[in-house]
Amino acid sequence: MSILKRIVNSRYFMVFLWMVIIVAVWEVFAFIVQFTKRTPVNILPHIYGIIESILDTKTINGSETALQMVLINAGATLSRAGIGFLIGTALGFTLALLMNLSGTVEKIAFPYLMLIQMIPVLGMAPIVLALTGDIATSRIVIAAILTFYPVAANTLAGFKGVHKEKHELMYSYAASKFQLYTKTLIPACLPAFFTGMKIAAPMAVTASILVDTLQGGVGLGCLLSQSLKGAMTRYVFWQIVILSAIVGILSFVLIGAIEKRVCPYNQKPKG
Protein backbone atom coordinates (compact mmCIF):
# COMPACT_ATOMS: atom_id res chain seq x y z
CA MET A 1 0.00 0.00 0.00
CA SER A 2 2.83 2.41 0.79
CA ILE A 3 4.25 2.01 -2.74
CA LEU A 4 0.81 2.60 -4.30
CA LYS A 5 0.27 5.64 -2.10
CA ARG A 6 3.68 7.01 -3.06
CA ILE A 7 2.86 6.58 -6.76
CA VAL A 8 -0.54 8.26 -6.40
CA ASN A 9 0.97 11.19 -4.49
CA SER A 10 3.86 11.65 -6.91
CA ARG A 11 4.06 14.67 -9.21
CA TYR A 12 4.41 12.49 -12.31
CA PHE A 13 1.20 10.61 -11.57
CA MET A 14 -0.72 13.87 -11.23
CA VAL A 15 0.70 15.12 -14.53
CA PHE A 16 -0.30 11.85 -16.21
CA LEU A 17 -3.78 12.02 -14.65
CA TRP A 18 -4.34 15.58 -15.89
CA MET A 19 -3.17 14.61 -19.37
CA VAL A 20 -5.67 11.72 -19.42
CA ILE A 21 -8.47 14.04 -18.27
CA ILE A 22 -7.62 16.67 -20.91
CA VAL A 23 -7.48 14.04 -23.69
CA ALA A 24 -10.78 12.53 -22.54
CA VAL A 25 -12.57 15.90 -22.42
CA TRP A 26 -11.08 16.88 -25.81
CA GLU A 27 -12.31 13.64 -27.44
CA VAL A 28 -15.79 13.99 -25.93
CA PHE A 29 -16.19 17.45 -27.44
CA ALA A 30 -14.65 16.27 -30.73
CA PHE A 31 -17.33 13.55 -30.99
CA ILE A 32 -20.03 16.11 -30.16
CA VAL A 33 -18.79 18.33 -32.98
CA GLN A 34 -18.63 15.36 -35.33
CA PHE A 35 -22.24 14.33 -34.62
CA THR A 36 -23.51 17.87 -35.24
CA LYS A 37 -22.41 17.31 -38.87
CA ARG A 38 -19.95 20.20 -38.76
CA THR A 39 -16.40 19.79 -40.05
CA PRO A 40 -14.44 18.53 -37.00
CA VAL A 41 -11.04 19.54 -38.32
CA ASN A 42 -12.20 23.17 -38.59
CA ILE A 43 -13.55 23.30 -35.04
CA LEU A 44 -12.13 20.56 -32.83
CA PRO A 45 -10.46 17.58 -34.52
CA HIS A 46 -9.80 14.23 -32.91
CA ILE A 47 -6.36 13.94 -31.38
CA TYR A 48 -5.53 10.97 -33.59
CA GLY A 49 -6.18 13.20 -36.61
CA ILE A 50 -3.61 15.73 -35.38
CA ILE A 51 -1.10 12.93 -34.74
CA GLU A 52 -1.68 11.57 -38.25
CA SER A 53 -1.07 15.04 -39.72
CA ILE A 54 2.21 15.25 -37.82
CA LEU A 55 3.37 11.89 -39.16
CA ASP A 56 2.01 12.49 -42.69
CA THR A 57 4.75 12.59 -45.34
CA LYS A 58 2.54 14.24 -47.96
CA THR A 59 3.80 17.69 -49.00
CA ILE A 60 1.33 20.59 -48.86
CA ASN A 61 3.31 23.24 -50.74
CA GLY A 62 5.16 21.04 -53.20
CA SER A 63 8.30 20.56 -51.12
CA GLU A 64 7.44 20.50 -47.40
CA THR A 65 5.13 18.50 -45.17
CA ALA A 66 2.86 20.22 -42.66
CA LEU A 67 5.25 19.41 -39.80
CA GLN A 68 8.28 20.70 -41.72
CA MET A 69 6.52 24.00 -42.43
CA VAL A 70 5.54 24.38 -38.78
CA LEU A 71 9.07 23.64 -37.52
CA ILE A 72 10.75 26.00 -40.03
CA ASN A 73 8.42 28.85 -39.11
CA ALA A 74 8.74 27.95 -35.41
CA GLY A 75 12.50 28.45 -35.67
CA ALA A 76 11.99 32.03 -36.87
CA THR A 77 9.34 32.88 -34.28
CA LEU A 78 11.05 31.25 -31.29
CA SER A 79 14.47 32.73 -32.10
CA ARG A 80 12.98 36.24 -32.11
CA ALA A 81 11.01 35.52 -28.94
CA GLY A 82 14.12 34.09 -27.26
CA ILE A 83 16.31 37.08 -28.10
CA GLY A 84 13.61 39.49 -26.95
CA PHE A 85 13.12 37.49 -23.75
CA LEU A 86 16.83 37.65 -22.88
CA ILE A 87 17.02 41.38 -23.61
CA GLY A 88 13.86 42.09 -21.61
CA THR A 89 15.09 39.96 -18.70
CA ALA A 90 18.43 41.80 -18.52
CA LEU A 91 16.79 45.24 -18.78
CA GLY A 92 14.07 44.32 -16.28
CA PHE A 93 16.54 43.15 -13.65
CA THR A 94 18.73 46.22 -14.20
CA LEU A 95 15.78 48.61 -13.84
CA ALA A 96 14.57 46.83 -10.70
CA LEU A 97 18.05 47.16 -9.22
CA LEU A 98 18.19 50.87 -10.08
CA MET A 99 14.70 51.48 -8.66
CA ASN A 100 15.68 49.78 -5.41
CA LEU A 101 18.90 51.80 -5.22
CA SER A 102 17.15 55.10 -5.84
CA GLY A 103 13.66 56.12 -4.78
CA THR A 104 13.77 58.89 -7.38
CA VAL A 105 14.35 56.40 -10.19
CA GLU A 106 11.46 54.31 -8.88
CA LYS A 107 9.07 57.27 -8.79
CA ILE A 108 10.01 58.27 -12.34
CA ALA A 109 10.18 54.83 -13.98
CA PHE A 110 7.41 52.80 -12.33
CA PRO A 111 4.41 54.74 -13.76
CA TYR A 112 5.86 54.39 -17.28
CA LEU A 113 6.49 50.72 -16.61
CA MET A 114 2.81 50.28 -15.77
CA LEU A 115 1.77 52.33 -18.81
CA ILE A 116 3.77 50.19 -21.24
CA GLN A 117 2.20 47.04 -19.80
CA MET A 118 -1.32 48.42 -20.37
CA ILE A 119 -0.80 48.98 -24.11
CA PRO A 120 -2.28 46.03 -26.12
CA VAL A 121 0.26 44.00 -28.09
CA LEU A 122 -1.58 44.45 -31.38
CA GLY A 123 -1.73 48.20 -30.80
CA MET A 124 1.96 48.31 -29.95
CA ALA A 125 3.11 46.36 -33.03
CA PRO A 126 2.54 49.07 -35.69
CA ILE A 127 4.21 51.70 -33.50
CA VAL A 128 7.30 49.57 -32.88
CA LEU A 129 7.49 48.62 -36.58
CA ALA A 130 7.33 52.28 -37.60
CA LEU A 131 10.14 53.12 -35.16
CA THR A 132 12.43 50.21 -36.05
CA GLY A 133 11.64 49.94 -39.75
CA ASP A 134 12.32 46.20 -39.68
CA ILE A 135 9.83 43.38 -39.08
CA ALA A 136 12.25 40.98 -37.35
CA THR A 137 13.64 43.73 -35.10
CA SER A 138 10.15 44.95 -34.17
CA ARG A 139 9.15 41.46 -33.03
CA ILE A 140 12.26 41.17 -30.87
CA VAL A 141 11.50 44.58 -29.32
CA ILE A 142 7.90 43.61 -28.57
CA ALA A 143 8.99 40.33 -26.93
CA ALA A 144 11.50 42.32 -24.86
CA ILE A 145 8.85 44.85 -23.79
CA LEU A 146 6.45 42.13 -22.64
CA THR A 147 9.26 40.38 -20.75
CA PHE A 148 10.46 43.64 -19.23
CA TYR A 149 7.49 44.38 -16.93
CA PRO A 150 6.96 41.04 -15.11
CA VAL A 151 10.71 40.62 -14.55
CA ALA A 152 11.17 44.18 -13.29
CA ALA A 153 8.05 44.17 -11.09
CA ASN A 154 8.73 40.78 -9.51
CA THR A 155 12.43 41.50 -8.95
CA LEU A 156 11.61 44.84 -7.32
CA ALA A 157 9.09 43.07 -5.07
CA GLY A 158 11.86 40.61 -4.17
CA PHE A 159 14.17 43.47 -3.18
CA LYS A 160 11.42 45.14 -1.14
CA GLY A 161 10.56 41.86 0.59
CA VAL A 162 13.93 41.54 2.35
CA HIS A 163 13.39 42.05 6.07
CA LYS A 164 14.92 45.12 7.71
CA GLU A 165 16.66 42.87 10.21
CA LYS A 166 18.87 41.53 7.41
CA HIS A 167 19.81 45.09 6.42
CA GLU A 168 20.66 45.91 10.03
CA LEU A 169 22.69 42.74 10.43
CA MET A 170 24.82 43.58 7.39
CA TYR A 171 25.34 47.14 8.55
CA SER A 172 26.35 45.86 12.00
CA TYR A 173 29.21 44.04 10.23
CA ALA A 174 30.17 47.30 8.52
CA ALA A 175 29.17 45.92 5.11
CA SER A 176 29.38 48.26 2.16
CA LYS A 177 26.46 48.89 -0.21
CA PHE A 178 28.05 46.55 -2.74
CA GLN A 179 28.40 43.77 -0.14
CA LEU A 180 24.81 44.34 1.04
CA TYR A 181 23.51 43.71 -2.47
CA THR A 182 25.81 40.88 -3.50
CA LYS A 183 25.63 38.98 -0.20
CA THR A 184 22.02 39.61 0.86
CA LEU A 185 19.64 41.50 -1.40
CA ILE A 186 20.38 39.94 -4.80
CA PRO A 187 20.36 36.33 -3.50
CA ALA A 188 17.13 37.10 -1.63
CA CYS A 189 15.40 38.56 -4.71
CA LEU A 190 16.39 35.75 -7.11
CA PRO A 191 13.29 33.58 -6.41
CA ALA A 192 11.05 36.54 -7.31
CA PHE A 193 13.24 37.24 -10.35
CA PHE A 194 12.76 33.67 -11.61
CA THR A 195 9.02 33.94 -10.96
CA GLY A 196 8.96 36.96 -13.27
CA MET A 197 10.87 34.97 -15.90
CA LYS A 198 8.38 32.09 -15.67
CA ILE A 199 5.55 34.53 -16.30
CA ALA A 200 7.35 36.36 -19.10
CA ALA A 201 8.63 33.41 -21.16
CA PRO A 202 5.23 32.16 -22.43
CA MET A 203 4.12 35.77 -22.92
CA ALA A 204 7.10 36.45 -25.19
CA VAL A 205 6.25 33.44 -27.37
CA THR A 206 2.54 34.33 -27.50
CA ALA A 207 3.31 37.93 -28.41
CA SER A 208 5.65 36.87 -31.21
CA ILE A 209 2.95 34.64 -32.71
CA LEU A 210 0.30 37.38 -32.45
CA VAL A 211 2.54 39.96 -34.09
CA ASP A 212 3.35 37.46 -36.86
CA THR A 213 -0.36 37.32 -37.73
CA LEU A 214 -0.48 41.10 -38.01
CA GLN A 215 2.73 41.85 -39.88
CA GLY A 216 3.13 38.75 -42.07
CA GLY A 217 6.45 37.37 -43.22
CA VAL A 218 7.99 34.18 -41.88
CA GLY A 219 6.70 32.91 -38.55
CA LEU A 220 4.15 30.75 -36.78
CA GLY A 221 1.56 33.51 -36.67
CA CYS A 222 1.68 34.02 -40.43
CA LEU A 223 1.38 30.27 -41.01
CA LEU A 224 -1.49 30.09 -38.52
CA SER A 225 -3.31 32.89 -40.33
CA GLN A 226 -2.87 31.16 -43.70
CA SER A 227 -4.22 27.91 -42.26
CA LEU A 228 -7.31 29.62 -40.83
CA LYS A 229 -7.99 31.27 -44.21
CA GLY A 230 -7.94 27.88 -45.94
CA ALA A 231 -4.65 28.34 -47.79
CA MET A 232 -3.53 24.97 -46.41
CA THR A 233 -4.80 22.16 -44.22
CA ARG A 234 -6.39 23.28 -40.94
CA TYR A 235 -4.31 20.67 -39.14
CA VAL A 236 -1.39 23.11 -39.44
CA PHE A 237 -3.32 25.40 -37.08
CA TRP A 238 -3.69 22.63 -34.51
CA GLN A 239 -0.03 21.65 -34.81
CA ILE A 240 0.92 25.26 -34.05
CA VAL A 241 -1.44 25.34 -31.05
CA ILE A 242 0.06 22.15 -29.59
CA LEU A 243 3.64 23.24 -30.34
CA SER A 244 3.03 26.61 -28.65
CA ALA A 245 1.63 24.88 -25.57
CA ILE A 246 4.62 22.53 -25.42
CA VAL A 247 7.08 25.43 -25.78
CA GLY A 248 5.31 27.34 -23.00
CA ILE A 249 5.45 24.35 -20.65
CA LEU A 250 9.08 23.58 -21.49
CA SER A 251 10.12 27.20 -20.93
CA PHE A 252 8.50 27.10 -17.48
CA VAL A 253 10.19 23.79 -16.63
CA LEU A 254 13.59 24.96 -17.93
CA ILE A 255 13.51 28.18 -15.91
CA GLY A 256 12.41 26.17 -12.86
CA ALA A 257 15.38 23.81 -13.31
CA ILE A 258 17.78 26.77 -13.58
CA GLU A 259 16.22 28.27 -10.45
CA LYS A 260 16.88 25.06 -8.52
CA ARG A 261 20.56 25.23 -9.48
CA VAL A 262 20.95 28.95 -8.77
CA CYS A 263 18.76 29.12 -5.65
CA PRO A 264 19.09 25.79 -3.81
CA TYR A 265 18.44 27.66 -0.55
CA ASN A 266 14.90 28.42 -1.73
CA GLN A 267 13.84 24.78 -2.19
CA LYS A 268 11.39 23.21 0.24
CA PRO A 269 12.76 20.17 2.10
CA LYS A 270 11.30 16.86 0.90
CA GLY A 271 9.11 14.82 3.13
Closest by CA to 205, choosing from 257, 154, 155, 139, is: 139
| Confidence at residue 90, expressed as pLDDT on a 0 to 100 scale | 95
229 pLDDT more than 70: yes
Chain centroid to Cα 247, Å, comes to: 8
Q: Where are the alpha helices (DSSP H) in 102-219?
A: 103-118, 121-132, 135-160, 164-172, 177-180, 186-215
Q: Assign 245 a pLDDT band (cuts: 50, 70, 90).
A: confident
- Decide if pLDDT at 93 tops 90: yes
Q: What is the pLDDT at residue 94? A: 94
Question: Across all residues in the chain, what is the average pLDDT?
Answer: 83
* H/E stretch holding 3: helix 2-8
Average pLDDT, stretch 53-64? 82
| pLDDT (mean) for 42-56 | 84
pLDDT digits (tens, 9 = 90+) for 63-87: 888 888 889 888 888 999 999 999 9
pTM: 0.83
Express each pLDDT in 148-205 by its tens digit.
889 999 999 998 888 888 777 777 777 788 888 888 888 889 999 999 999 999 888 8
The pLDDT of residue 271 is 47
List Cβ neighbours of 12 (8 Å cut-off, separation of 6 or more): none
DSSP string, 27-61: HHHHHHHHHTTS-HHHH---HHHHHHHHH---BSS
**45-49, 111-115, 196-200: lowest mean pLDDT where?**
111-115
How far apart are alpha carbons 226 and 237 in whole angstroms?
9
Q: In the predicted model, what is the mean pLDDT of residues 247-252? A: 89
**Residue 99, burial from CB neighbour count under 10 angstroms (0-12, 13-18, 19+):** buried
For residues 165 and 206, the answer to whether their CB atoms sit within 8 Å is no
pLDDT over 70 percentage in the chain? 89
pLDDT at 197: 93
pLDDT at 203: 87
